[in-house]
Each structure stands twice: as C-alpha cells, then as structure tokens.
Structure 1
C-alpha cells in the first residue's frame, strides 16, 4: 500500500510564512477571502438524531452554510470493532474519533443489537429534512457506512451500483429530490464507485484526500463528468492523534490556529470533513464552536461542495485522474487519492 510522505501535502504543515491575519488586517497578503467547505459526515443513528441538530443550531448562530452527507440505511457500527486490531486505531479512539462519542448502544449495533435502519426512524428523517429546510446542501454519505468502508474494494460491480442506487432512492424518498453530491465513508472510493455515482446522477463528489479538484476516471479510464473536490485539511481526530494537539485541553485549542493557517495557504476552496459524532458530539462540540467563531472572525467564507466545484470549473479545465488507495498519517485505514 503506498504511503504519502510529508511533501505529499497530508502532514498538514502550512508554509513558514502563513499568516494568521484576519481579512483586511495590515500586512495580510490575500486579496480574496479564504474559503472553507464544511463537509459534515453523518455516520450513525445517534449522529443523525443528536449531532445534526447541535450543528444546525451552531451554523444558524454563525450564519454558515455546510454540506451534510447522510447515511441512509442500516447502522452497523458494531461491526467496525475489528478495526481495533489495525495499527493506530485504539490511540485514535482514545483521543477523539467518531467511535469515542458513539456510546455503548451504538457500538453494539449490527452485532449484539439489531442494526437500526436510520432512514426509517422518524426522528432521523426529521433531522435530515431540518438540515435541508435550513438551507444547507444535502447529499449521500452511505447506505451502510461500515459495510462500504470495509468491503468496497472487494465488492462486485453489480453490488456497488445497486448500493448507491438504493441510497439515492432512499434520499429522494426522504428529501424529495435526487442527490447531486456525495462523499464516501472513510474516503473509500474506486472506479466502480465513480461509475455508480454517475449512474445515480451525482454531479459532485468528495471521496478523496489531498490535491486540487479533478474528474475521476471511470473503470475504462475515461473521464467522468463528476467533479471530485478532495478533502484538503486534516480531520480533528487526526490532529488530536498527535501529541502536540491531543495531549491536553490547552493543546487541543491550538488546532484552531493550525487549521486557519492551512485554509489561508490554500489555493481555491479548502475542504474540511467534520463528523456529527465528533464536532456535533458533546465532548468536542464546544471546541468546534470556538474554532468556527475564530474562522468567521478571520474572514473565512463557507461555500458548499457544489459551489467549490463550480469555482474549480470556472478556473479552467480539470484533469482526469485515476483513484488509488494510500495510507496517510494518523489514519488507521487507507484512503482514496488521485494518482499523478
């Protein structure tokens, strides 16, 4: 499995001259406001019912639009227990990961407890509709989050196509329109998932880590019309896996300025993936609220994924790139990244 090193842009060190200056401050070099897409991954039933409204309230107070990506089928979180045996997973959970906020019941779904069907729970469906009604962009995350994350590389073509089609149909049933945006669980994607997205009518995806927007390649190597807008910033749980950020409460506060400097140094819109189970969870929500307030004060604008894709298309033609699975620092499982 290839591993990305520091110069691949995923160790998240800003340039030495990156400035933590508010928009318009003396000495600030950037003319256009920095832009940050908040991509909200909703993995579980508890994240949908409890985490979504917590984030909706915060975004309403701050006047921020985000892109919510929903898991729509069974919550089989308990089956992810096998990841305990993967290097780095235990440390990640102890510091901050979605699993750290799940609670015992969620951690047993799909094993000792039946897997609830998220989209069929009235409270969960209501939260999805509330996000849409509040003006946020909404799209697909998964049918079964754990199953996709763990099995996609081995799924036959027909199953990949059927899984995405099923999720898209449930999305339309709940929200009244076909989804146009999507983002894969754990950035687990390949050429077959690109084909399945295209068949389902997805126009913009955020399935990969690092780099500029591009058109992902279909299985035959031809370019898909889908615009892939990669996640460019480290997630909060990845940062907290590092001692310099995760050792105590004071160190955690340093993540705010670090992420701000990365956004300021970005060409085009940066993309930050957050989770309803982490930033929308009780333990770390206050930290995220302080981060968001600081980013707003610094003059950051918050486009949606589709707006970021439109910005990329307006800047010129995009390359076609194949997807490859690679390992990155502070993440226990491989993620998709564009080749080349």
Structure 2
C-alpha cells in the first residue's frame, strides 16, 4: 500500500511559511512528497474569493494584488524550491499565472496554451537548472492542447485530473504517451467543514485502493491545517502506507500494463476539473 503525496505551492506566503513547516513535518515522519510550484506573476488576488478566504488570504491580499502591479513569484519561490530538493523531495512544475489559467484555459487556443506552458517550464529550468519530470496544472483545469503537450514536453508523468488509478490519456481519440497520475483522494479543502472530521474521512477512503494520490497545498496543509495534516500522516502510517513522491510512484509502475482512458474536460462555463473518463476503446 502506498500514498503518492503532492503539495501545490501557489503563493509566496505558502512558499515562505508553508513549505518549511511541511518539510519539517515530512522529515519527522520520514516520508517523501512532490512539490509543484506555480510561477509567473503574483496575481493571487484574482483567484476565487472562497479560495482566498479558506487560505487566510483576505481583503488585504485581494486589494494588494489588484491595486499594485504584479511582481514575479519566481525569485520568491526559488528558496523554497531549493529547500525542498535539498530535503530529498521531488520539485516539479505547477503552472504559470494560476488565475489566468483557471479562468481562460478552457476557452483558449493552441498558441495561447503552448505559450503559457512553455513559459512555466522555462521559468522552472531557469530557477532550478534542470528539466522537471512532472507537471500538475492549477486546480486540474485542462484543455486539449495541454493534454497533448505533456507528451511533446517529454514529462515522465502529469497529474492534472481526478480519477481512480494511473492511465494513458486519450483526447479526441488520440492517445497521449505521458501517463496521467490522477488525484484519487479528497483533500481538506473539500472536506474540512464544521462538525466534520476530515482526517477520519480521508483515512476511510484511503483503505479502498492499494495505491492513492493525495493533493495538498502549502497554504493549507502547511499552515492553517498543519495539525490536521500531521494527524493524517500518522494515520496513513498506522494503516501501513508508504508515503512517497509522485516520481517514485511512477518509477515503480509497470507502464506497459496501464489502460487507456479518455480525459473528460468538463463544461467550459463554469470551468470544471478534468477527470479520468471511460476506458478507451469503449
């Protein structure tokens, strides 16, 4: 049994405060993880209000982001990226300009998509001096070009969808030779409601499969909900799980045995997370 653990880092606050706390926590439990860093301009105030409020980014952050010209996240992310790598974790690319991607990706064309995704991988290579092996686009928003580009950019894997198990993605009948490692478990952002024990709910769902993927966030699991996340790590270990990075998870897979599944992009308005669809061919 194993848990592939991924942590998304979308803000400077998450990089500067959440990542160090998470690295300490992972070291205490002697487990691994993959950190996906969002790069590009810091326009966090343009994210949905619910997203901001749940992460403790209130009116001040919203106003600052909208009234002050956006500065680049890249230099602020560099220290957190290097610290995660030095701690033995995988460092990979999230996206660039997450709010822009969230609101526009489903409606945009091939050139827009390719430009933005090349910008994110280029920024990563500049900061880290290496090519990322993995990709996880913001909030599982995808379009057809983004699915195809995972193969063209030679990623070892991408983790851009919700689903049940790893698969080869198919878009418009075209197989893409970059395995999708979908998120299989709910996270605190979905379950952490008054009167509900999100840790117990996640641990319950963790028993239903042999392999799992959990997607946390530096701004939640590393900050406001860090005590709950530590309980979750302890609970997974009690269940007998090995907790590791996505690249370790992928390297242990028999890729030749993975099934092909269609990628369901969901409606354009409102934009919905992409999902693992039906098996291909049906």
In the superposition, the TM-score normalised over structure 2's length comes to: 0.90
1:127 matches 2:80: yes
The aligned residue for residue 265 of structure 1 is 208
Structure 1 position 103, deviation (Å): 4.4
Write the deviation string for residues 8-65 of structure 1: whole angstroms up to 9, x where unpaired: xxxxxxxxxxxxxxxxxxxxxxxxxx21111101111111111111111111111110
Cα distance in structure 1, aligned partners of 2:89 and 2:128: 12
Bigger Rg over Cα: 1
**What is the aligned length?**
276
The 1:333/1:54 distance shift into structure 2, 3 A limit, reads: farther
1:299 matches 2:252: no
Q: Which runs of 5+ in 2 are unaligned?
A: none
Cα distance in structure 2, aligned partners of 1:333 and 1:228: 20
Query: Residue 42 of structure 2 aligns to a residue in which SS?
Result: coil
Cα distance in structure 2, aligned partners of 1:93 and 1:79: 9
The aligned residue for residue 167 of structure 2 is 214
Cα distance in structure 2, aligned partners of 1:156 and 1:325: 15
RMSD: 2.1
Regions of 4+ moved over 3 Å: 103-106
More strand by share: 2
In the superposition, the TM-score normalised over structure 1's length comes to: 0.75
Equivalent residue for 1:47, pick from 14, 36, 39: 14
Q: Which runs of 5+ in 1 are unaligned?
A: 1-33, 241-245
Write the deviation string for residues 102-159 of structure 1: whole angstroms up to 9, x where unpaired: 24443335411222211133xx311111101111011111111111111101121011
Cα distance in structure 1, aligned partners of 2:170 and 2:239: 37
Cα distance in structure 2, aligned partners of 1:320 and 1:265: 22
The aligned residue for residue 19 of structure 1 is none
The aligned residue for residue 177 of structure 1 is 130
Cα distance in structure 2, aligned partners of 1:222 and 1:325: 14
**Do the aligned partners of 1:205 and 1:227 also contact (CA within 8 Å) in 2?**
yes
Cα distance in structure 1, aligned partners of 2:209 and 2:14: 30
Structure 1 position 101, deviation (Å): 2.0
Equivalent residue for 1:69, pick from 36, 52, 55: 36
The aligned residue for residue 339 of structure 1 is 277
Cα distance in structure 1, aligned partners of 2:97 and 2:137: 11
Cα distance in structure 2, aligned partners of 1:109 and 1:214: 41
**Do the aligned partners of 2:162 and 2:275 also contact (CA within 8 Å) in 1?**
yes
Equivalent residue for 2:98, pick from 136, 140, 145: 145
**Do the aligned partners of 1:160 and 1:196 also contact (CA within 8 Å) in 2?**
no
Equivalent residue for 2:249, pick from 308, 311, 324: 308
Cα distance in structure 2, aligned partners of 1:323 and 1:271: 18
